[in-house]
Amino acid sequence: GGAVTAADILTDAGRRIEVELAAEPAVAAELGLIVAESLDRIGMPEGSEGLMAATVERAHRAWGAVDPRTLRAEFALARAERYRDAEAALQRIDRIVPALRAGLPSTARTAIDALEMQSFLRARLNREQDSYVALDEAIALAEQHLGPDHENTIFLLGLRSNTYGRFADRPRQLAAAEVALERARRVFGTQRPHDTLIAVERW
């Protein structure tokens, strides 16, 4: 009777998981993670938090606390929580980061993303030095596991400049921006318009 949006489809899928897959926690956890991450990607993190909390509980039952899939679900829940309660989201990230480190290299992508968020949340809560420590670790892991020319690595270099700027450290902001910009232009300069290059140039 009307237009159906991606959000409608995903929200309905989340409801169906709760009803139809209650007796299959592993399947429900896998599908719940996909649906919740998709809601977050289309800009509806608030719509994913309840589903993500249920997914985390199922993941713990199905796979255990340190399985890469469970850690990814925990991270996704922290992403959903961060708008409502930054402290709770940071506490969740702080809990899973040691397991993500221990699971390297199979957990590298989630570890990099989690450390980036850890840095962001620490900065948001005015924990300046702790924010730099988490971001530097994220960059080091990205350089090692993704490569120096990977889009995520270059984005994180730009984010380092942005974080220095947040705390009004202008000399280090400029120095970090120059490093990020040189690499972004070398890697993406022939691909304009390119989102990461634009972001780095703006920072």
Q: What is the pLDDT of residue 143?
A: 98
Peptide bond into 105 cis (omega under 30): yes
Provide the CB-side half-sphere exposure for 192 (13 A, CA). 8
Residue 46 confidence class, pLDDT cut points 50, 70, 90: low
Looking at residue 19, its pLDDT comes to 87
User: To the nearest whole number, what is the mean pLDDT of the chain?
Assistant: 93
* pLDDT, tens only, 160-183: 999 999 999 999 999 999 999 999
pLDDT, residue 22, reads 82
Contacts of 141 by beta carbon, 8 Å cutoff, 6+ apart? 104, 108, 111, 112, 115
Which amino acid is located at 202 in the chain? R
- Is the model's pLDDT at 1 over the cut of 60? no
pLDDT tier for residue 156 given thresholds of 50, 70 and 90: very high
Q: What is the mean pLDDT of residues 124-139?
A: 97
The residue written with tokens 């030095």 in the block is 129
R_g over Cα of the chain: 18
